[in-house]
Structures are given as structure tokens and as C-alpha cells.
Amino acid sequence: MAAENEQASLVVKGGRWYAGLALLTLALFGLRTISHSDFWMTLASGRWIAIHGAPHTDPFSLLKPEAPWLDPMWLYDLMVYYLWTYGGAALVTVVHIAAVLAAFGLLIRAARPLGGPLSIATALLVAAWLLGPAFVTRARVFTLLFPALFICCLARHSDRWWLWLVLVPAQVLWTNMHHTFRLGPVICLLFALQEWFRWRRACRQPEGAVAVARRAWLNPLLLAGGALAATWVNPYGLNIYAAVSSVGWGSGNLLAAEQVSVFSYMFGGSDKNALIWAAAVVNLMGLVAEKHRLPPAITLLALLGTGLAIMTPHYATIMAVFSFPFFVLSMRAVGLFLWDSFAEVVQRRQELFRRLLVGGLLAVTLFSLARLVSNHYYWDHGSGSAFGLGANEEALPAAAGMLIGQEKFPVALLNHALDGGNLLWHLPRRKVALDARVPVHGAALLQLTAKGLAGDGPAWRSIEERLRPTAVLINCCQPQAILGVRTILATGRWGLAYFDGTSALLLLQLPEQRVWFENQQVRMLGLANLELARRAYEKRLARHWFPAHSPALIGAGHLLQALEKFDEAEKFYLLLTQGAPNMAGAWLDLGICRCRLGRWQEALAPLRRALDGMPQNVMGWLWYSRACQQTGSPVEAREAQQRAQKLNPNLAAQFAAELPAPVTTNQFAPRLR
């Protein structure tokens, strides 16, 4: 649709309303409860910084005390801590939403010459859905304000002296908040390159025009140097580059952060954002359909943002900001192309096409709003968050912290890296073995512990030899938690002392630790927390069509499977599938429980449901093959076995040899009332 025709139509007279609805949709994508694990590490760091200042050595690690640590996000951590102190989760969330809205408000100003209100509104919806999975209270979301400010100022006023007063202080703040600060000078260089091309074309003009054009590219070029020099204004000086280089650009490492939730694998999806490719197609449409000369800076920014997002989904946030002006250009270019291609038809039926255009845009907007407000968006994606304000720690060991914080509890506690920040926040006087800071602990150690806690026997033996833990905290929502608990208990040296659904505490069976196994109050505390989670989930089931998920019930089913309590685990999975029929992992575990109980015929239906949602799951095909064998369906059994062998021949052979050995334990098993 041509921008000229947009300006003259009745549609455009209300174009600002469409853009306003799109901005509202963008804001509601951020209106969610806080559930991601690294938020608590931010709070713990911010609290320490508020007392001691920016750190140079690590105050949190049990394994590497006083190891060198530079926190490039120290200012952001401090800001979030104070926001939390004065306004809790609600204030933290609202401030992040405001920062994103301010960022896109600036981008709208930069994009106005590239398209009309309808193009801007459509681009906002594309950016909102692209941001959706990553729109949480993280530094990379809050700091989107800075690249948006650079783009807005340089796109409209590249030759103005006051840019130095705005962008240099912004670069200083950005440097002390997130490692993407390195993009500031790059943005300046790209706009300097764009204005240089314009200057070359303007050389044929009168001398005065050439002088103006020369200032237009010289100012952002010098500003790139000024922004680079501004990055030195931080507590670490030039050492900050070494700190951020260890982070690199591929921050999609799942050892450091989860994109959706720690249990999103139960929904058959992955942490990859498929909308990245859809947004890339929008950019491609602009490259193909635009008939005029493409603005170099806007085009290169879109290509850079797309490349970063394809490299790792965590940079979908950068792609949304860098590509937004080009999204607008693409929408206008595609509209022009369609207008020119079907001019006769459109001119004869203008009113019909106007209604279709407005109706389509409103339908997409209302669909997005309904998905968010009803909680369907989070329910469908397997998110630990829900629509609204507040914080949800059910997928984290917050409840177990009451026991771990006791003075006599074993100090040598091994934990999942993603749980470390939550422990540090709730237990400020206690150090932890692991947290999600890869530069401090090293990728090798985090990978070793992740494999050991996921049931890898050699890795667990290496952990016992090297780290010598006397207690282990397992997050039962994590992938392979069943195998992890089974492997550790199968050694015969460990026992289960506490369990609350999400968390399981395994202790080495030493004489001095027998008191924890014999403490009935400890057991009852965990089971009481699990019962509270069950009742809360049942209430959500009764009140909402799309209830917030219950990590505690997911973890309870996993641990009970590890303890060979399949009849009890079945009850939890039945409740989970009732509340979330799209949770393919719950259907799979329900089918496995029925197989292990010898109820092969009853296992077929849930296994089929699981394979519909997770067609690449090897264990699903193996158990389905075995169930078909037991129920007299040899053809289906053979086909399922062949499918499994294609996916993973080693696992298929291992499964055919023997089932997992039962776990022998004298510990308790919770019961669902």
C-alpha cells in the first residue's frame, strides 16, 4: 500500500489508533509474572553491589572463592535491586515495559519517513511477536532503549552537535548495563557510512550543499570514536572488554539461562523462536519489493540484527529494534507492489479492500490481545510465567531454601547452575557451588555437572571424585531429572531427605547426616509444600481455561518415576494432562507409568498423544513399540521400532537390551490425596 494513498484514505485518518493498539499489544507482551532463573542472580548481585560497590572478585562461589569476577551489568543489577526494594516485582516489570515502549516510540519517529501509520502499526505487531518469548525482566530487554535512541537520533539529525550531549552519556550508561554496548559505535559507523554515500552523490551540488553533507557524515564518524571512548567510563576500565569477550555474542547457552522455562521441553517445543525466520522473511520482502535506493544504515542494521538472532534466539530483542525501521519500509514496499500489480481491481473495489485491510489488522491485534489476557500464550508455550504482575518461584528451590539455610545443613551442597542465583538471593549468608556465570565457573565445569545431574554415570563419578559433595539439590523440573535421581540413588551411598515437588535434596549417607533422614518434620515440610501446590493448581483448573502451569506437580511426577512409584506418579500426570492437554511430556510420562504398571492397553492412548506433540522423541517411539507388542499389534510395533532406530540407534539398542534398573531406597514417597 502506497504511503501517498494511505495519507489520503479514511484508513489513515485513524492510523494512529491502530498504532496505539499495536503499542498496547507490545506492552502486554511484557506484562507477565517473573519466573526466569537469572533474575534472582541479578537481585543477589545488586544487593551485594549496593553494600560493597562494583565487584572485582567473586563473593558467591563455594568452589572458587575470591576468583576474579568483573560484572559488566553492575549498574543494571543495582537498579533492579532498588526497584525491587521500593516496589517489588510490579515496579520492576512496569519499568521494563516502559523502557521498551520508549524504545519503540523513538523507533517510530525514525521510521516515519519510511512508511505510513498502517505500515508502522503492522511493523509494531511483527516486533511484538518477535519479542514475545524474550520480553522478560532482563538487561538485554531494558537496554533496548539505548540502540533505539542511537538509531532515532542518527537517522534524523546526524549532523547536529547536541548528539554528543545525548549519545555519549547514553553510551556510558549502556556500557555499565549490558555487553551489547559494543553495538553503540557500530551504529554510529553505519550512519556515517550512509551519510558518506550521500555526500559523494552531493558533490555535484553547489559548494554550500557539499559542506552541509560533509558535516552529516563527519559528525557520526567522530561520534563513533566518542562512543568508543565513553565505553572506558566504567569501574573496570579497559578490562571490561575482557569480561564481555568471555560472554561473546552467542549468549544462547542454556547453561546460563532458559528462554521459555526449565520445563518447556515437556511441550515438545524448543527454545528456538520460529518467528525469527518469519521476521527475516519480512525483511526479505523489503529487499525484493523496494524500488527505490535502500538506505544503507537501515538496511545494514536489519541484516546485522537478523544475523545475530539467527545465531542465537536470545538476540531476537536486538533484531526487533534493529529491523523495525526496515519492517516499516518493507510493509510500505509490499503495499506499493500490490497496489501497482492490482491497481485496476483495487481502484474498482476500494471500499471492500479498505474494510479487508482494517479488519485484518484489527483481527491480528485482537487475537494477540486475547491470547495474552486469557493466559493462552503462556499456557501454550509451556512458560513458567503467567499474565499479570508478581513473581513465581515454584520452578526454583525457594521452598527448599528454608532447610538449606539452617546452620547445621551440609555446606558441600551441589546444585543446578540455574538455581544458584535463587539460593543466593534467599540465603545471603551462604555461598553456592554453582550459578549461571559461565566466566566464573567455566563452561567445562557447568557441562560436567549438567551431565552428572542428568544421569550420566561417568560424569557423576567424576563429580564425586573432584567436588566431593555431601548434599545434592536436584531441580526435578529439569530435563533428565528422572535419570539424575535414579543414577545417584542407584550408587547406594545417597538417600532422599527432602522433597517438595520442585526440589529434591539427596544426602550422602554419613553418620553425622543421619539426623536429616530421621527428621520427620523435614519430610512433612516438603510434602506440605507439595500439597499446597496441588491444591493451588486444582483451584486454577476450576477458575481458568488456561491455568498457569505447576512446576511442583511436574517435578513430583518425575521423582516418583525415579523411585519406581508409578501408581503415584500416574495421578500427578493425570492432573497435569487435565490442565494442559498440550503438555506432550506429561502424556509420555503417563504412558510410561502405565507401561511399567503392566497396563499396556491403557498406555497406548497417552503415548499416541505424546507422539503427536513430540514426533522426534525416541523414548516415545520405543515405549509405543513395546506397548504395541504387548497388545498384539506387531506391525505397528515394528514401524515404531524402526522410527526409533532412525532417530537414535544407540538408545534403541540399549532400550531393547534392558529396561532401567529399579531404584532401591528406604526413603518416603509422597501420595496424592
Residue 458: the pLDDT is: 93
Q: Are 80 and 49 in contact (CB under 8 A)?
A: no
Q: What distance lies between CA 670 and its chain's CA centroid? A: 32
**Rounded Cα gap, residues 673 and 663, in angstroms:** 24
Angle between helices 15-29 and 117-131 (to 10 degrees): 10
Q: Is the pLDDT of residue 272 over 70?
A: no
Q: Cell numbers of 593, please?
A: 507409568
Cα distances from 371 to residues 234, 365, 378, 581, in angstroms, run: 42, 10, 9, 17
Residue 299's closest CA among 276, 328, 275? 328
Q: Which residue has the cell 507401561?
A: 595
DSSP state of 483: H
Q: Cell numbers of 177, please?
A: 548495563
Q: Is the pLDDT of residue 41 over 90?
A: yes
**Rg (the chain; Cα; Å):** 28
At 473, is the secondary structure helix, strand, or coil?
A: strand
Residue 302: the pLDDT is: 92
pLDDT band at 344 (very low <50, low <70, confident <90, very high): low
Region 461-480: mean pLDDT is 92
For 384-422, the pLDDT digits (tens) are 999 999 999 999 998 888 889 888 898 999 999 999 999
Region 171-178: mean pLDDT is 96
Q: For the chain, what percent of residues have pLDDT higher than 70?
A: 89
pLDDT band at 669 (very low <50, low <70, confident <90, very high): very low
Region 22-31: mean pLDDT is 94
**Rounded Cα gap, residues 151 and 110, in angstroms:** 7
pLDDT band at 182 (very low <50, low <70, confident <90, very high): very high
Residue 1: the pLDDT is: 43
Question: Residue 580: how many CA atoms within 13 Å on its side-chain side?
Answer: 34
For 608-627, the pLDDT digits (tens) are 999 999 999 999 999 999 99
Residue 269: the pLDDT is: 63
Domain residue ranges of the chain, discontinuous segments joined by +: 3-31+70-248+272-373, 401-522, 563-657
Task: Name the more confident of 468 and 268.
Answer: 468
Q: Is the pLDDT of residue 653 over 90?
A: no
Residue 370: the pLDDT is: 93
Cα distances from 584 to residues 378, 573, 616, in angstroms, run: 15, 11, 12
**Rounded Cα gap, residues 179 and 68, in angstroms:** 18
**Rounded Cα gap, residues 466 and 469, in angstroms:** 9
SS (H, E, C) 324-390: HHHHHHHHHHHHHHHHHHCHHHHHHCHHHHHHHHHHHHHHHHHHHHHHHHCCHHHHHHCCCCCECCC
pLDDT band at 663 (very low <50, low <70, confident <90, very high): very low
- Domain formed by 563-657, architecture: Alpha Horseshoe (1.25)
Q: Are 529 and 632 in contact (CB under 8 A)?
A: no
Residue 583: the pLDDT is: 94
Residue 10: the pLDDT is: 44
Query: Which residues neighbour 268 within 8 Å (Cβ) at sequence distance 6 or greater?
Result: 584, 585, 613, 614, 617
**Rounded Cα gap, residues 623 and 588, in angstroms:** 9
Residue 384's closest CA among 374, 373, 372, 396? 396
Q: What distance lies between CA 226 and its chain's CA centroid? A: 33
pTM above 0.85, yes or no: yes
Q: Is the pLDDT of residue 205 over 70?
A: no
Task: Work out the mean pLDDT of the chain and round it to a whole number.
Answer: 86
pLDDT band at 233 (very low <50, low <70, confident <90, very high): very high
Residue 665: the pLDDT is: 36
Region 498-513: mean pLDDT is 92
Residue 346: the pLDDT is: 61
Q: Cell numbers of 16, please?
A: 494512529
Residue 248: the pLDDT is: 58
Sign of CA dihedral 83, 84, 85, 90: positive
Task: Name the more confident of 124 and 673.
Answer: 124
**Rounded Cα gap, residues 479 and 580, in angstroms:** 18
Q: Are 441 and 42 in contact (CB under 8 A)?
A: no
Residue 527's closest CA among 506, 547, 501, 548? 501
Exposed (0-12), middle (13-18) or buried (19+): which is 202, by Cβ within 10 Å? middle
**Rounded Cα gap, residues 89 and 79, in angstroms:** 13
Residue 283: the pLDDT is: 83
Task: Name the more confident of 30 and 358.
Answer: 30
Which backbone phi and psi does 68 adopt, to 5 degrees? -60, 135
Q: Are 418 and 37 in contact (CB under 8 A)?
A: yes
**Rounded Cα gap, residues 462 and 483, in angstroms:** 17
445: left (phi over 0), alpha (psi -120 to 50) or beta: alpha
Residue 257: the pLDDT is: 63
Cα distances from 177 to residues 34, 39, 90, 264, 548, in angstroms, run: 20, 14, 21, 28, 32
Cα distances from 537 to residues 258, 550, 568, 573, 587, in angstroms, run: 23, 6, 17, 13, 18
Lowest pLDDT segment from 34-48, 150-164, 242-256: 242-256
Residue 188: the pLDDT is: 94
Residue 664: the pLDDT is: 35
Task: Name the more confident of 663 and 276.
Answer: 276
**Rounded Cα gap, residues 305 and 315, in angstroms:** 8
Q: Cell numbers of 641, please?
A: 521400532
Q: Which residue has the cell 532503549?
A: 145
At 414, is the secondary structure helix, strand, or coil?
A: strand
Q: Which residue stretches of 182-289 are H helix? A: 183-202, 207-230, 239-247, 275-289
**Rounded Cα gap, residues 414 and 370, in angstroms:** 43
Region 246-255: mean pLDDT is 52
How is the beta sheet containing 413-415 ordered, strand by strand?
413-415, 471-475, 503-508, 494-499
Q: Is the pLDDT of residue 547 over 90?
A: yes
Q: Is the pLDDT of residue 673 over 80?
A: no
Q: In angstroms, how far is the first alpha carbon of the chain from the final one?
A: 61
**Rounded Cα gap, residues 401 and 407, in angstroms:** 12
